[in-house]
Amino acid sequence: MKPQPPQQPVRPRVGQVRGEFQLGTSRIKRIGVNRWHWGDIYHWMLTLSWPRFFLLVGVLYFLTNLGFALAFYLVPGSISNARPGYFPDCVFFSIETLATVGYGYMNPATTYGHIVASTEILLGMVEVAAVTGLLFARFSRPTSRIMFSNVAVITPFNGVPTLMLRAGNERANLILEASVRASLVRRETTLEGQVFTRFYDLQLEREHSGVFALTWTILHKIDETSPLFGKTQQDLQNEGTTLSVAISGTDDTLNDFVHARQTYAAEHIYFNHHFADIMSDKIDGNVRVLDYSKFHDIYPDGSREGSMPGAALAHPG
């Protein structure tokens, strides 16, 4: 009898949701609240992506120089040695004034020119201080590089159906006193006929880890007390079920609190599948290989997995 070829892993594609308010594949849009408040400018600028942040700084710098250059241009003679009616000279003088460079060739020639230049210098110092503070805050903000498996699986573990998902620390450091929380969100209909969104905290096999260094397989046993007990894939989809997972801890390099979260829609929870084994046997003496290229791979239960035999059901890190 010819040996069967190894089963190819299932590699679902799902988008990353880190940093977004998202439940599974649904993004939550709020209406009926104020969309803007001046007190949120600092928070908003910290949450901008780096390209948008630098674009905003560039636009602010351009508009500031353009506005003051126009103020100089509208009153001829306010800048000595500037060519009459030549707007670029006003722009370049505005740039030199905002940066407090002062090359000396052009300088304010009238009281009006001195007032405009003084106002621009004051505004320039405020803008430089603000941008410097924002850059420092963005660079110094503690962030994690915790990756989650693209999918979660439900498979027997020690004879009990168990919900599993993987987390991994992408940095070569430690996360101390790490903790994980998992919640199940679904819509239910009450006895009164009201549709109600319910949150269920899932009891995990291990919720705390003194040191999170490599990977962590998060386990939830599906027994009579579990909100997943007796549920099928179709049930989860009909109820709009979403699994939400959050990990937090102290980064031993930054010595600060970091966190990460991930959500899984019902279609990202695979029944009767298990994760591929990513930890090899000992090679070259006492060395093991942790293969992150297989981090998201899953196989149907009972299938062969090629060069890495066995289901990687628990590598707690």
Question: What pLDDT does 151 receive?
Answer: 93
List, for residues 109-146, the tens digit of each pLDDT value.
Answer: 999 999 999 999 999 999 999 999 999 988 888 888 89
DSSP-derived letter for residue 279 is: B
pLDDT, one tens digit per residue, over 49-88 is 889 999 999 999 999 999 999 999 999 999 998 899 899 9
Distances (CA, A) of 52 to 61, 130, 134, 142, 177: 14, 16, 13, 20, 35
Helices (H), strands (E): how many in the chain?
5, 16
Residue 56: per-residue pLDDT: 93
Instruction: Name the nearest CA neighbour of 152 among 10, 305, 307.
Output: 10
CA distance 150 to 9: 13
**For tokens 């992408």, what's the residue?**
170
Give the residue, 35 or 276, on which the prediction is more confident.
276
pLDDT in tens, 156-201: 999 899 999 999 998 888 999 999 999 999 888 888 888 888 899 9
Count of Cβ atoms closer than 10 Å to residue 296 Cβ: 21
pLDDT-based confidence at residue 314 (cuts at 50, 70, 90): very low
pTM score of the predicted model: 0.70
Residue boundaries of the structural domains of the chain: 48-140, 146-300
CATH ID of 48-140, from 1.20.120.550, 1.10.287.70, 1.25.40.10, 3.20.20.80: 1.10.287.70
**Structural domain 146-300, CATH architecture:** Sandwich (2.60)
User: What are 200-220's pLDDT values in tens digits?
Assistant: 999 999 999 999 988 999 999
Under DSSP, the state recorded for 310 is S
Q: What is the pLDDT of residues 220-275, one digit of tens each?
A: 999 999 999 999 989 999 888 999 999 999 998 888 899 999 999 999 999 999 99
Tell me phi and psi for residue 270, to 5 degrees. Answer: -95, 125
